[in-house]
Amino acid sequence: MRVLVTREELSGRVEALGHEAVLCELIRIEPLGDDPVDASGYDWLVVTSRNGAHELGRRGVTANRIAAIGPATAQALRGHGLRVDLVSETHSQEGLREALPAGRLLLAAAEGARQDVLDADFLPLYRTVELAVDVPDADLALLMSGSAARALAAAGARVPVVAIGPQTAGEARKAGLAVVAVAQNHDLDGLMEALRACS
């Protein structure tokens, strides 16, 4: 089976399952600043994506405690030498809301990220640009963000998709894509398990 992946790091994992991986980058990340981030006035700095973790690592950050939405985000933060104090068991903003103790929160995320779940101040770190691309033929696509889903649909692709979580699945359906599976654990391991189950 030909499986469209949007990040090169997934190619080897897809091929290890016996499929052909076809790389097609659908989004580009544009930083929104270079200044160090000072979150010292907050009890928690909340990070909801690997891209956000990489931006904080690139810019430098001062924080009392850092919460990560899931293990991949936590790993990216640690890769930049940042201490992670909390990783939510349910990899969503709702999961973070349940896991975080009371306190002042600063949510550092993509421009346009959801702000209706956490009672937090918001710092946009980057914007996601959807790319206009020619999508190669594939039997299935793995999607890790709503922006990738929108870009895939805008390119005219009608390939069925496996989504990393319910938010991405919702965006894919709204864009007219057929969602054949949603990862139970909203991380790369969960995405691979969902691919294995539907192939």
Taking only the tens place, the pLDDT of each residue in 25-71 is 998 889 999 999 999 999 999 999 889 999 999 999 999 999 998 88
* Residue 82 and residue 105 share a domain: yes
Domain final residue pick, 92, 127, 162: 127
Structure tokens of 57?
């690592």
pLDDT given at position 133: 86
How big is the CA angle at 68 (ends 92 and 99), to the nearest 5 degrees?
Answer: 65
State the total domains in the chain.
Answer: 2
* Residue 85 and residue 68 share a domain: yes
Indicate which CATH number applies to the domain containing 105.
3.40.50.10090
When pLDDT is averaged across residues 73-95 and rounded to a whole number, the result is 90
* Residue 91 and residue 141 share a domain: no
Say how far apart CA 118 and CA 115 lie, in whole Å.
Answer: 6
* Residue 69 and residue 101 share a domain: yes
pLDDT given at position 130: 86
* Residue 174 and residue 111 share a domain: no
Shortest CA distance to 31 belongs to which of 52, 61, 48, 47? Answer: 52
Distance of CA 112 to the CA centre of its chain: 13
Whether 112 shows a pLDDT value over 80: the answer reads yes
Q: Which amino acid is at 125?
A: L
* Residue 156 and residue 105 share a domain: no
* Residue 151 and residue 102 share a domain: no
Domain final residue pick, 127, 148, 180: 127
Domain final residue pick, 127, 157, 186: 127
pLDDT given at position 165: 83
* Residue 110 and residue 45 share a domain: yes
Domain extent, residue 164, equals 2-27+130-198
